[in-house]
Structure 1
Amino acid sequence: MDSQMNAPWSNCSIGYSCVKLFPPPMHTVPHSGEAQHRTSPGVEGRGRMKRGVQHRSNGRSARKTRPGSESGFEVAHDFGPAAESARHFDPARRGYTWGMIRFTLLSFLLAALLLAALTGCSRMRFVVDLVPADDGLTETVVHEDDDARWRSPKVALIDVTGLIADVRRPGLLTRGVNPVAEYVESLRRAEDDSRVKAIIVRINSPGGTVTASDVVYRETVRFRERSGKPVVVLMGDVAASGGYYLACAADRIVAHPTTVTGSIGVIMQTFNFSEGMRRIGIHADAIVSGEKKAAGSPFEPMEPEHRALLQNMVNEFYDNFITTVTTNRTGLSDEQINTITDGRVVTGRQAHELGLIDEVGDLYTAFDTAKELAGLPAARLVKYHRALQHVGSAYAESPTGSSSTQLNLMQLNLDGAAMHDQPNFFYLWDPTIFSAVR
């Protein structure tokens, strides 16, 4: 009966915590068989054992003799597997492990909240880009006709947003994108997809460098010639200068009534710091190989022959722009050409009246026009984008950024390296960068 008492430490299933916090008392019984024993304080007779009586705990004998004991006292308790595992478990290690896990999770959460606050994003993903990787372009259906099916023909929507320049635009924690390279990649995907029967190029750009604008124009013309698929341009907020240059490659041009377009012309912006430098005692000398090598230098006044040299280049690029317009916009009179090529900007409605565009409308107008040119009764509109970009509708933000990025302190447009780290010629309408230096 004594061996069956309800001692909390006599059950081998007791967890490690109980063993650690409430170590059981050691009950011993002398070999003399006398009723001498030690018990827990305040508990009379608990754990009593006589010599020769075995205390069973989970089928295991608790009869042990303490080494070195002459009297042969017997240990009255054995905890079985629970005690054995407890002897090999370090609680400090468990606490350290869970502490590190909590610290890591908390650090990640704080970093996520900080990044969300900096970028103004609520829906975002984190990608650890340890090595350069190509996530490629994917497509998302953003609109479809009521009678369209899963295997219905597709019309691809390709965005051209921001400055058209053959440079990589840096982004927050990203390597950025090259708008020219991404546009050409989109054309290749549309050309290789046999289910894509037409494309819509949506332009929201004030233009760009002369060469980059010409590159995207020529690539669009080649796409039409190789694939035979019609191209429809949809103008957004701004499709001016180089943006209109690109639009000339399309079969049809659709513009919103509030679109700003036009600005047919060329500009090269130069700066002259020589007067300000002279006032503070700074003088710059350039060692050149020819008298025209430093033409356009901001550290010395513009010489007449230097100006004439640069003006000839501007005129050549301007003539190329006019030729591109007249080749693709047939039927324009000389008076209309003189009006639209003086550098002015016009609205979408005015552009329609002047013959610069074919139709005033919106995205769905452009979609219907693309289906008409491709002979499609029904189709699905798909938008090309990077795999990690969320696209919930056709108006999802383009990954290439906004049409302009201003440093408001000086009202300078610094969208893209081509604007500030090298001189260049531009098919560009952006009065903010030029007004500050007049």
Structure 2
Amino acid sequence: MNRTVYGCLLVALAVFLLVSVSLNVVQLVALVGDQIPGMAAPKEKMTEKVQVEGTAGTSEKIVHLDLEGVISSMEAGGFLQSALPSVDILKNSLEQAVADDRVKAIVLRVNSPGGEVTASDIIYAAVKKAAEAKPVIVYMDSVAASGGYYVACGATKVIASETTLTASIGVIMASTNYHELYGKVGLSSQTFTSGAFKDTLSGSRPMREDEKAYVQGLVDTMYDRFLGIVSEARNVPKDVLRNTVADGRVVTGRQALEAKLVDQIGYIEDAYALARELGAAPDATVVKYQSVPNLFTALGLASAKATPPAKMELDLTGAMLPKLQPGMMYYLPGSFLH
């Protein structure tokens, strides 16, 4: 083997070792970052894609964001992260838009049936905070119900199309009771608790009346908060809402306008036009924020938590319905729990 070939092999080996060491360093930082104060994976910066061209030479922008699917605090790592609704990604996007002086207004397109109570509340708070700095226009697409409408209440203005399904103002919580099935197959359950309500919602026994009242009280508390947020945002008394559209029903965009739940009927183009008007930027370019995985997220290493072992499940829904957790409260239409 001549010296030239030998030298090339050494260079290739050195490059391979350097890449290997670099990847291991990245993995180590990602795995221990959350354990060391001040060390964390870098905050993801959104990239921009032009949706609607503005006047040539303008630097002013309207940012388009999307909230699509069931709202959940659960996260997916790796390449799937950018394909699923993410509370953190939406919060980061709103913060980035507010911090950018060239962004004059934000359009948030909502196409969601709702989701977890807390996740919806977190996004609502982020939208409301952004709206205190810049106009935020929510455009309701096919559906913006329950938690989706909850989020919209944080915006400056809300636009729905004629065929939008929205409202569903309410809270739902469900569990499955199987104690009679246990009796038929000869099974029983022994549960040891530290208090009378510790195993409330257990499916292995009938539910007591005091437990029913307790759970209903939790649901009513969350409902009252939802009602208060809608009342404040839409300037409609809580009693009026409670006795009309705030009974869990879904309404169309036109019905929502009549009930003062939205500000106008229109399409996404109308949302862009209103954003330009409220942002005093008639020539602004409309850009869409996109999440592009960095090295941490692409490798699925950003989380300090280890990936749980894979398990096989039989899905009889054809993956068309969201997987909801028993005992959790949701801002969702009731049909999603059956």
Deviation at 1:434, TM superposition (A): 2.6
The CA RMSD over aligned residues, in Å, is 2.8
Please say which of residues 319-328 and 213-222 is displaced more in the overlay: 213-222
Contact 2:58–2:285 (Cα < 8 Å) also in 1: no
Contact 1:152–1:378 (Cα < 8 Å) also in 2: no
Change (3 A) 1:379 1:258: same
2:214 to 303, 309, 324: 309
Asked if 1:256 is matched to 2:139, the reply is no
Change (3 A) 1:283 1:292: same
Equivalent residue, structure 1, for 2:197? 292
> Which of 1 and 2 has greater Rg?
1
User: Separation in 2 of the partners of 1:412 and 1:274?
Assistant: 28
Contact 1:249–1:328 (Cα < 8 Å) also in 2: yes
Asked if 1:357 is matched to 2:266, the reply is no
Equivalent residue, structure 2, for 1:425? 329
1:142 to 51, 54, 66: 51
Deviation at 1:257, TM superposition (A): 1.1
Change (3 A) 1:388 1:170: closer
User: Separation in 1 of the partners of 2:280 and 2:242?
Assistant: 33
Deviation at 1:285, TM superposition (A): 1.4
Equivalent residue, structure 2, for 1:76? none
SS at match of 2:244: helix
Asked if 1:201 is matched to 2:105, the reply is no
User: Separation in 2 of the partners of 1:348 and 1:303?
Assistant: 41
SS at match of 1:268: coil
Contact 2:231–2:241 (Cα < 8 Å) also in 1: no
The one-character-per-residue Cα deviations of 1:15-48 (angstroms, maximum 9, x if unpaired) are: xxxxxxxxxxxxxxxxxxxxxxxxxxxxxxxxxx
Residue type of the alignment partner of 2:103: V
User: Separation in 1 of the partners of 2:320 and 2:91?
Assistant: 25
Residue type of the alignment partner of 1:139: E
Asked if 1:434 is matched to 2:337, the reply is yes
Equivalent residue, structure 2, for 1:80? none
Change (3 A) 1:262 1:174: closer
User: Separation in 1 of the partners of 2:259 and 2:237?
Assistant: 8
Aligned pairs for 1:75-114 (under 5 A) are none
Contact 2:111–2:142 (Cα < 8 Å) also in 1: yes
Which structure has more RCO (C-alpha within 8 Å, separation ≥ 6)?
2
Asked if 1:162 is matched to 2:69, the reply is yes
SS at match of 2:243: helix
Change (3 A) 1:180 1:344: same
Equivalent residue, structure 2, for 1:191? 98
Q: How many residues are treated as equivalent by the alignment?
A: 285
Contact 2:109–2:141 (Cα < 8 Å) also in 1: yes
Contact 2:145–2:165 (Cα < 8 Å) also in 1: yes
User: Separation in 1 of the partners of 2:293 and 2:225?
Assistant: 39
Deviation at 1:181, TM superposition (A): 0.5
Contact 1:170–1:176 (Cα < 8 Å) also in 2: no
User: Separation in 1 of the partners of 2:170 and 2:320?
Assistant: 19
User: Separation in 1 of the partners of 2:334 and 2:218?
Assistant: 20
Residue type of the alignment partner of 1:371: R
- TM-score by length of structure 1 reads 0.60
Contact 1:153–1:195 (Cα < 8 Å) also in 2: yes
User: Separation in 2 of the partners of 1:275 and 1:319?
Assistant: 35
Residue type of the alignment partner of 1:182: I
- TM-score by length of structure 2 reads 0.77
Change (3 A) 1:294 1:408: closer
Residue type of the alignment partner of 2:215: L
Sequence identity, in percent?
A: 39
Residue type of the alignment partner of 2:155: A
SS at match of 1:340: coil
Gaps of 5+ in 1: 1-87, 90-129, 390-406
The one-character-per-residue Cα deviations of 1:172-220 (angstroms, maximum 9, x if unpaired) are: 7769756111110101110111100100111111111111111111111
Change (3 A) 1:322 1:173: closer
Asked if 1:321 is matched to 2:226, the reply is yes
User: Separation in 1 of the partners of 2:82 and 2:270?
Assistant: 36
Equivalent residue, structure 2, for 1:402? none
Q: Which one has a larger percent helix, Structure 1 or Structure 2?
A: 2
Contact 1:165–1:208 (Cα < 8 Å) also in 2: yes
